[in-house]
Amino acid sequence: MTSNWFINASYFAVALVFILGLKAMSSPVTARKGVIWAGFAMVAATVVTFFMPGLHNTGLMVLAIVLGGGVAWWSGKVVKMTDMPQMVAIYNGMGGGAAAGIAAVELVRGVQHDPMTSTLLVLGAIIGSVAFSGSCIAFAKLQGLMDKAIRLPQQNNINFFLSLLTFGVGLTIGYSDAPSMFEITLFFLLALALGVVLVIPIGGADMPVVISLLNAFTGLAVGFKGFVLGNPALIVAGIVVGASGMLLTQLMAKAMNRPIKNIIFSPITGEAAAEGGEVQGTMRELSALDAASLMRYGQKVIVIPGYGMAVAGAQHKVWEMAQLLEEGGVEVVFAIHPVAGRMPGHMNVLLAEAGVPYDKIFDLEEINADFPQADVALVIGANDVVNPVARTDKSSPIYGMPILNADMAQNVIVVKRGRGAGYSGIENALFYKDNCRMLYGSAQAVIGDVIAQIKTLEA
C-alpha cells in the first residue's frame, strides 16, 4: 500500500513538472529551462517505475535504457543543425513505435479488457503505427532518400479503404478472445502501410505541419497506452503532448490558410504547383557590393530566413552581418513565418544558436506592417512564405496563405542557390518584381562576400 502511494504521488509530481516544462517551452526565453524540467521529470518517472511491485525483466529494461539513452546522447551531440528536422521526425516516430509495440505485447499476451479499454488499445496501436511509419517516411524525404511527393493513383480512395480495413481488422482482434499471430501481424502491417500511404504524397511545403501532426499522433498513442496499462504518468504526458501537438498543427494549418484535411488529402505537390499561372518578367541580379550598399546606407533592414540558410549553415554569418549594420546605425530585425523551414520553430532555433537576441525576432503578425517602411527586405533561402501569388492568384496552390509582405519593402534582395523553384515546386512571383534583385550562391559564401563589402564601405 505504501509503495503504491509513493508511486502514484511521484507520478502526480512528475506530471505536474512535465506540464510546467511544456508551458515553459512556449517562449524562446524559457524554452531551454522547460526542456530541462521535462527531461528530469521523465527520468524521475522512469526511476519510479522500477519500484512497482511485481516488476519483471528489470535487467532488460536497464539494458534498453542504457542503449537507447546512449544512442540518443551521441546522436544529439553529432547532429547538424540542418539535420534537426529529420532527427525530430525519427525521434517522434520512435515514440509512436514504442506505443505500438506495447499494444502488440498486450495483444499477443491475450489479456482480456473491457470494451472501452480494448477500443483504446486498438486505436493506440493504429495511431502509434501510423506515427512510426509516417515519421520514417518524413525522415526519408527530409534526408533526401526519397522523392518529396509520390502520389498514388486514386490516392484518397486508397487512404479511405485502407483506413477502413485497418480499423476493421483491429477491432476484430481487439474484441477476440484469442487472436491468432497471423491476425495480429496482418493488423500491424496494415497500420504501418497506412502511415506510409498517408505521408508519401506530402510535399515540402506541407512537411512542417505533417511533422507536428505526427507528433500529436504519438502523444495520443502514448496516452491511450497509459490508460490500458493504468499508468498515470503515461496518460498525462501522452495527452498533454497530443493536445499541444494538435493545437500547434491547427495553428500552422491556419498560418497556411489550409484545413488539415486538405494538407493530408490534397497536399501541395510538384504537379499541383505547376497548375498555377505562369510568372511574367525577368530575374535581375546584383553584386555583393550593391547589396552591401543598399543595406549599409539604409535605415531599416528586415531579414527573412528560410531553409536555404539552414542548408548553408549561414546563421552565424547572417548575425555577424546584422551586427556590422547595427554598428553603422542601421536597424536590423528578423521576420519568421510560422511554417518557415522543415519543422515548427526551425528558423527560431537556428537564429538562437547564432546568438540573435529574442527581441529582434518577430513573427508574421508582428512584422508585416513594417515592410513598407523597410529600405531592404533580405530574403535568405525562403520561397513560399514570401510569394505574393498567395494574395493574387486564385489558381495557385498557396492562394490565401498568409505571407510575409517582403514585396512591399523599398528593395528586396533574395539570396538563392540557383534559378529553380523552391522546395514545393511553386515559382515565386516576388523574384520577378521590379524592386527585387537576386544574389545567387550558397548563403554562407554570399553573406560572407556582403560582409567583406560592408567593411570596405566603412573603411
Residue 216 CA to residue 249 CA, distance in Å, equals 8
**Cα 194–chain centre separation:** 20
Residue 328 burial by Cβ neighbours in a 10 Å radius (0-12, 13-18, 19+): middle
Q: At what angle do helices 2-24 and 232-255 cross, to 10 degrees?
A: 20
Q: Do the bridges between strand 331-336 and strand 361-363 make them parallel or antiparallel, or are there none, so unpaired?
A: parallel
Q: Which string of DSSP letters, residue by residue, matches 91-119?
A: HHHHHHHHHHHHHHHHHHHT----HHHHH
CB count, 10 Å around CB of 436?
A: 24
> Nine-digit cell at 183?
491476425
Whether the CB-CB separation of 404 and 436 falls below 8 Å is answered with: no
Nearest to 385 by CA among 205, 207, 138: 205
- Cα dihedral sign for 132, 138, 139, 141? positive
Place of cell 549553415: 313
Please state the length of the chain: 459
Give the residue numbers marked as catalytic.
384
Distances (CA, A) of 391 to 302, 322, 394, 400, 422: 20, 30, 8, 6, 18
Nearest to 439 by CA among 371, 392, 376: 376
Strand partners, 243: none
Whether the CB-CB separation of 42 and 240 falls below 8 Å is answered with: no
- In sequence order, the 6+-apart residues with CB closer than 8 A to the CB of 207 are 85, 138, 141, 142, 342, 343
Distances (CA, A) of 278 to 267, 340, 398, 457: 20, 24, 14, 40
Residue 60 CA to residue 265 CA, distance in Å, equals 42
- 151 DSSP assignment: P
Strand partners, 294: none
Strand partners, 413: 378, 437
3-state secondary structure 335-397: EECCCCCCCCCHHHHHHHHHCCCHHHEEEHHHHHHHHHHCCEEEEECCCHHHCCHHHHCCCCC
